[in-house]
Each structure stands twice: as structure tokens, then as C-alpha cells.
Chain A
Amino acid sequence: MSQGTPPLWEFVDICKAYPGVLANDKVCIKLLDGSIHGLLGENGCGKSTLIKTLSGVQQPDSGQILYKGKAVQISDPQDARDKGIATVFQEFSIVPTLSVGENIFLGNMPKTRFGVIDWKKVNESAAAVLAEMDVDIHPEAMTGTLSVGEQQLVEIAKAVAMKARMIILDEPTAALGEDEIERLHQLLRKMRSQGTAILYVSHRLDEVERIVDEVTILRSGRVVRASGETEINVSQIVNAMVGEDISEHYPKEHNATSEVVLRASHLSTKNGVHDASFDLHKGEVLGLGGVLGSGRTEIARALFGVDALTGGTVTLNGAPLKVRHEIDAIEAGLALVPENRKFDGLFFNFRASGNITAASLGGLSKLGILDLKAEDEGTLRLIEELEISPQAEQKTVNFLSGGNQQKIVIARWLFSDAKVLIFDEPTQGIDIGAKIAVYKLINLLTRAGKSIILISSDHDELLAMSDRIAVVQHGSISRTVPASDLTHDDLVRASAAQLTHAATEERQ
């Protein structure tokens, strides 16, 4: 940090209150040119409030915003853009039905002197921006047809096109696979070397460790560790975020037995599963390792009857299992906790009870009439047992935090007494405290003799919480080994091998 030049942006004692909560309490932060600044904290710590203030969405109640040492106001989002601040929110603001070029220049289309859009210039300038970023996307491609990772890059291209000096990224990797994260990081490093200031918000601490130059940690609206006060390493960051010494980030219990519960032999589907075989033991957590697109999720879909099997067999407790629809899998005692709890998991029109009993309505009713007393009792028991917010039964679940929502989705399968649970990215987008709660839930389940298939892009989590790991490549299981025999690097290498291979295949 050079003493002479003032920071690009500086917040001094920024306060912002919402009814009943002081969201930012005298927050100070300095954002420097050519630096990637991590902004960390649990959900509700005031990160979003700070981002909204910086991007002009709202005004602080008090405090000063300094731009290169001079007090300024960021009066609205357009003003923020004019001052060179670009924000990439978690929910993308791209239009899927428009081309990449159109999206990059949306709202600011180059026009000919006749006032119509200069398409040649749109596509040329877009191509120039994408080339500058080293990104291989065609400007005329329909944005909706790109992968999520590529859409993310288009979103960043918008920022580059407007020559932003300050880029705010809110959970940029939540939907990305390992290779796409790496690509994003490369791009960010490049932008940093060109002098751009980057504010980086993420729950994935492993990647924070990899990319960030300095961190500011918020808790309950206050800065608990200013930049330079914390070493950038996961355990220190976690302790500062949670405010207590968390000795066990991954409280893994080993409950695996040798009894085989589910045996998948030579599974194949049209959707990318080729000859996949594995055993799942009672009380075991079997991790599926591999990159996004390796076939992890597809194997889960095949087991659960979402995609039809074109070959292979599944046995459950020794008996053959025929799954043609999801209902068959559920009745056999399988459960899928889907990757995207917002879109595929929760009923936002229900309170906790309706969500928790949704997969058990048959068993909960006699002659089609629901036993509402049993429902209430079961719900209350699970709310208590899983330490779900007591609010959960007063309001519909859209009012709950991500962690509580995830617990409710899992509680559904505890209520239905599923024997084999497939967890697809169970901790994505939830904060550390809630993650640990999910890990404890996994322990609770395996202790009760249930078996779990865990899919996670967070390698540390996968290694720490699994008993064994099946490495998935090209829709098949390349090997199954005890988790303790694998390292983070092994998984990354396995992923890389898949990518190289895929690239060669593509070329041929």
C-alpha cells in the first residue's frame, strides 16, 4: 500500500439502518487500484448493504464516501457507472434472448449517423472486448445458449466494455465449475495487473485463499477484521467470521459399515452416463468427485429415475430396483436434495410443515385425508432437532435464510425416512455456520444408518466429509478410493485430465 496516493474508493464510517436492524455500523473500507479485495462474512453480516451503497442502489444514512481522496456521492446506479463502478450481481442482468454483443452494449448501443444501431460496430467492439479478456466467445452467439460460466464472462465483459476502474463481484463462482472458476480467476488476475480494483464476495473460502490480496471481514454490520489484520487463510477467516474459535470446520464422523446398501452396475443413460459402477455402504458418505459436466449430476439423475437407464442395473439391499419415475425411487427409499434448492427444492407458498411433509403425503394420509396432527408434531420435532428457526412455522419459507431453507429441504427426507440420500451441492451459497449445520446433519443421518451420495464442487468439503470418493470422468467411475488417500491436488488433476481429454475430443 503506497502512502502517497489515496485509495481509489474509500468508505469512512458508513452507517445504514433498515427497520429494526443496523445493517452497516461505521463501516470503513479502502479499495485500491490493482488489488483484489475480499469482502467476507456470514449471511446477514451487511455485505449486500455495503455493495448496494457502492453501486448506488441506496444511500448511506451517515458517513463519507471518498473517491481518490475527495468526498463524493453515488446518487444512483447510473451515477455509479459514470464513476467507473461496475457491479456483477449474483442474479445476472443479461438478456438470454439477445446476442453476446447486444448484451455487452445494452443501453449504450453504438449507432450510425442515421440513428440506427451500427451492428458492424457492435460486433467488432464486442469481439475486441472479448479478445482483450482472452475469452473465446462469438459476439453474435445467442447469450442464452452459453454455459453459465460463459454468461458470467459476458457479464464481466459488460464491465470491461464500459472501462470500469472498479468491479464488484457478488458470489461470482456460485454456479461455476472448477475449470470455469479457474478461467474467471485468470481474467481477474489480468484485470488486476491492468490496475482495476476488484471487490470480491464469496462463500467459497478455498478460492478466496487462492485469489484475494486482502480481506475485510464483517460481522453483524461491523468490520471485525480490516484489511491487513488477518492472514488470508481459511481457518483464521472462519474464526473471524463466526466470532468464535471453530476448531472443527468439518466435524466428520465415520459411521460407514461394510454392508452394501445400493449397488449400481454398468449404468448408462442417453444423458452422459457410460458404464458407471459403484457400491454404497450403510452409514457411508460416498463422494462423487469430478468437474461440472463430468457426469456426477447425471449419475444421480439416473439413480433417481429422472433420466431413463439405457443399460445397467441397480440393486437396493440385494433386491433389484426398477426406477422409471421419481416416484419409484422415492417409494424405494431414495431421496434427491437437488443442486438448486430455489428452483427444484422448495415450495415457497408453504411454511416449513408443507415443505417437510411434501414427499410423505401418501404415508401421512388415510383414504386421502391428511393427518394434520401428525404433520404438526413431526414438523415441530424436526424444527427442534435440526435447530431450524422457530419462524419457519409462522411464515412461508421464502422469508427464511438460505441455511434454514436448506435444512428444511433435508428435513423433508428425514420425515420420509429415506434410506439413501443424494446431496447435490448441499452447501452452495450458504454461510459457514449453516454449512457446519449441514455437515452435522450428514453425521446425524449416517449415525442413523442412512447412506449418502455427496456431490460437491468444493473439493475440501468433499474430501473432508466423504468416507470414500468415486472419481467421475466422462460419465464413468474411474476409481473409488478412501477419501483419506486423496488430496485436493489429486482431484484438481483428475479434473484437469478430463478437461484436456475433452478438449482433444472436441478437436477431433
Chain B
Amino acid sequence: MKRVFDSQLIGPFAAMVIVALVVAATTDRFLNPGNLSNLSLQVSIVALIAIGSTIVIIAAGIDLSAGSMVALLTMILAQFLKMAGIPLLFAVPLILVVGGLLGLVLGMITAYGRIPSFITTLAALIAFRGLALTFNNGSPIFSLDPALEPLFYGKVAGIPMPFFYLVFFYALAAFTMNFTKLGREIYAVGGNPAAAVLTGINVRKVQTLTFVIAGFMTAVGAVLMSARLNSGSPNYGQTLELQAIAAAVVGGASLAGGRGNILATLMGAMTIVIVQNGLNLNAAPSSVQNIVLGAIILLAVGIDMWRAEISSILGRLFGRSDQSVKTASPAKPALSKDA
């Protein structure tokens, strides 16, 4: 488990706790159980999509398509349920497959067509929104299926359903990235694609797979979006892709590739949502929320970039050497055991 909970988590975790403490200090409604349960609902869609965004970023790509893809997929799901009459039990898995396939197309254009992922997914961001508008004359489709809403609002043992999705998908993603061949290859491709080729890693296939994962996770987000509002709309999911990327970045993922931690992304997403929640509870207007979100992204990346300077300043202030900060990466206890 050491590999999953490594030093990369310390910063994002600290940020999340600090933000939570600040918000809790400004309003006593924050720690109210109703609000906390509401938080897990709020964070769920962004956090699930951010799994895919993070994995793409670790492989040195970027996925800008998620927001529009959510809109497109909610419309397709609505078509399945209302027009084609496909039962929910089949429609939902089908949507997940469609999401994966859309990711496959984007991934292949990027990896085999040698078009930078920024361009591929920017084009998709624009085109998917347009595609979503071609359904139902561009109007939202409401009241899809009474059984859809419980997927989002349902509770098991008093705990909201989205909480379980988060646990399941984050555990699966963390396992994949830390304990499987694919995960290691994704880090390798992002770290040094030229070296990856020479070590026999199929770089294009790995890059493509990251987009398939991203498409699939976007589809999971889209199903929850539909369930939350029991509808499909070409206007859903605006700027979701940017929030998901923000979560990854606040969690310490490097846009240069090779560096990032799945669980840190969850904390990044939590941090962002807690701040939004805090501003909401304090009745701040949405303009302020956006400004604060921008500032958080800059601050998070800045703290990461200026780590050495900050630790030396802290060292001077508190009269201790900066060693303790630098050696925070875990030494392997296995050394003595195995020898």
C-alpha cells in the first residue's frame, strides 16, 4: 500500500484539510451531515471524470473533450430510453461502451494520426457539443426513466450512491496505475516516450488506451448527470473538462507527463468542491467562485514549482533545516528485510 499512499499525497491532502478547516471556521453549516453528504454528490461527477483526465495527463496527453462528451452522451442515453425504448439495464452499459468507443476514436487520431491531443480533443470539444444539438432539434429531453434518479440520489445504509462509485472507481484506478503493467507503461510513456519505444513498450497503443479510459469515465459521469436531472441536454457539462483537469493539476499531476497520482486527484477535486461549497454557504456570487477557482489552480501549481524556495523560507523562519521536507519521499523498509 506504500506505493499508493506515497509522498505525492501529502501536499494535496494538506491543501484539502486546510481548505476544509478554513471553510468550517467561516460557517458552522459546513460540518452538518446533510452538507457533507451533499458534498459527496457535488464532487462525484467531476471526480469520476478526473480519473480519466489524470491518466491521460500522466501519459503526457490532455483531454479537453469531456464536457461536450457528457452532453452528447446524455442525449444519446435519452434517445436510447425514450425513442429506442431500450431498458435502463441495457442502456446504461451501452452508454459506457459508447463513451469508451468515442475515447478510442480520439486516442487513435492522436496516437496513430500523430495529431497532438490538445488539438484532437479541442476539435472534439467543439464537435461533440454540435453533435449533441442534432438530437431532438437541440432541445433537452426530460423525464427519462423513474429508475434513473436513484442511481444518483439513492442511498445504501444512509450513504449516497455516488460515494460507492467514487470508492470503486478510485480503488480500481489506483490499483491499475500502481500495480499493473498497463499503469507502469502509462507512466513510462508519459515520462519518456523515446525511451519507452526502445524498451519495447507499444507507445501508441498505451496512449490510445488512456483515451479509452477517459471516454469510459466520462460516460460514467454522463450517466450520473442524466440521473441527477433525469434528463439529457446538449447544454450539460459546460467547463467540466476544465474542472477535471484542474482537479488533476491541484492534485499535483504534471502536464509534462509522467507524474501524477490518482488519489491526489480525488483530493484535488475535493479541495475545489469544498471551496465552492464554502463560498456557497457564505452566499458568495458565482463570479467570485470562478475567480477563487482560478486562484486555487495557480496557487496549487505554484506551491509545487516553488517547493524548494518555500521549504528554505520555512526552514529559516522556524530554524530547522529543510532536510525533513526533502526526504519526505518514503525510504523503503524492504531494504533491511530482503537483504
Q: Is residue A496 within 8 Å, beta carbon to beta carbon, of the partner chain?
A: no
Could you tell me if B338 and A344 are in contact, using CB atoms closer than 8 angstroms? no
Q: A349-B258, A376-B338 are in contact. Are A358 and B332 (CB under 8 A)?
A: no
Q: Which of B179, B188, B197, B329 sits near A350, CB closer than 8 Å? A: B188
What is the minimal beta-carbon distance from A353 to any residue of chain B, in angstroms? 9
Q: A336-B198, A358-B201 are in contact. Are A347 and B188 (CB under 8 A)?
A: yes
Could you tell me if B181 and A368 are in contact, using CB atoms closer than 8 angstroms? yes
Could you tell me if B200 and A330 are in contact, using CB atoms closer than 8 angstroms? yes
What is the minimal beta-carbon distance from B323 to any residue of chain A, in angstroms? 10
What is the minimal beta-carbon distance from A15 to any residue of chain B, in angstroms? 22
> Cβ of B198: which chain A residues have Cβ within 8 Å of it?
304, 326, 336, 338, 344-345
Could you tell me if B201 and A370 are in contact, using CB atoms closer than 8 angstroms? no
What is the minimal beta-carbon distance from B187 to any residue of chain A, in angstroms? 6
> Cβ of A358: which chain B residues have Cβ within 8 Å of it?
184, 188, 195-196, 199, 201
Could you tell me if A361 and B190 are in contact, using CB atoms closer than 8 angstroms? no
Residue of A326, A348, A349, A394 with most chain B CB atoms under a 10 A cut-off: A349
A350 to B329, CA, bound (A): 13
- Nearest residue, chain B, Cβ from A390: B335
Q: Is residue B194 within 8 Å, beta carbon to beta carbon, of the partner chain?
A: yes
A414 to B179, CA, bound (A): 23
Q: Is residue A393 within 8 Å, beta carbon to beta carbon, of the partner chain?
A: yes
Could you tell me if A372 and B190 are in contact, using CB atoms closer than 8 angstroms? no
A370 to B3, CA, bound (A): 13
A354 to B259, CA, bound (A): 13
> Cβ of A361: which chain B residues have Cβ within 8 Å of it?
181, 184-185, 201
Q: Is residue B136 within 8 Å, beta carbon to beta carbon, of the partner chain?
A: no
What is the minimal beta-carbon distance from A424 to any residue of chain B, in angstroms? 11
Could you tell me if B329 and A370 are in contact, using CB atoms closer than 8 angstroms? no
Q: Is residue B83 within 8 Å, beta carbon to beta carbon, of the partner chain?
A: no
Q: Is residue B180 within 8 Å, beta carbon to beta carbon, of the partner chain?
A: yes
Scan residues 285-331 of chain A and give those whose CB is less than 8 A from a CB of chain B: 304, 326-327, 329-331
> Interface range on chain A: under 10, 10 to 19, 20 to 34, or 35 or more?
20 to 34
Scan residues 237-292 of chain A and give those whose CB is less than 8 A from a CB of chain B: none
What is the minimal beta-carbon distance from B336 to any residue of chain A, in angstroms? 11
> Cβ of B130: which chain A residues have Cβ within 8 Å of it?
none
A344 to B194, CA, bound (A): 5
> Cβ of A153: which chain B residues have Cβ within 8 Å of it?
none
Q: A330-B200, A358-B199, A370-B179 are in contact. Are A343 and B194 (CB under 8 A)?
A: yes
Number of interface residues, chain B, beta carbon within 8 A: 30
> Cβ of A336: which chain B residues have Cβ within 8 Å of it?
198
Could you tell me if A372 and B179 are in contact, using CB atoms closer than 8 angstroms? yes
> Cβ of B190: which chain A residues have Cβ within 8 Å of it?
349
Q: Is residue A484 within 8 Å, beta carbon to beta carbon, of the partner chain?
A: no
Could you tell me if A348 and B199 are in contact, using CB atoms closer than 8 angstroms? no
Could you tell me if B180 and A350 are in contact, using CB atoms closer than 8 angstroms? no
Q: Is residue B182 within 8 Å, beta carbon to beta carbon, of the partner chain?
A: yes
Could you tell me if A347 and B332 are in contact, using CB atoms closer than 8 angstroms? no
Q: A344-B195, A350-B188, A372-B179 are in contact. Are A327 and B329 (CB under 8 A)?
A: no
Could you tell me if A348 and B181 are in contact, using CB atoms closer than 8 angstroms? no
Q: A350-B187, A393-B332 are in contact. Are A359 and B179 (CB under 8 A)?
A: no
A330 to B194, CA, bound (A): 15
A320 to B54, CA, bound (A): 43
Interface residues of A (CB under 8 A from B): 304, 326-327, 329-331, 336, 338, 343-350, 354, 358-359, 361-362, 364-365, 368-370, 372, 376-377, 380, 393-395, 412
10 A-B pairs with CB atoms under 8 Å apart are A326-B198, A343-B192, A345-B198, A347-B187, A358-B188, A358-B201, A368-B182, A369-B181, A370-B184, A380-B339
Interface residues of B (CB under 8 A from A): 3, 179-182, 184-185, 187-188, 190-192, 194-202, 258-259, 329, 331-332, 334-335, 338-339
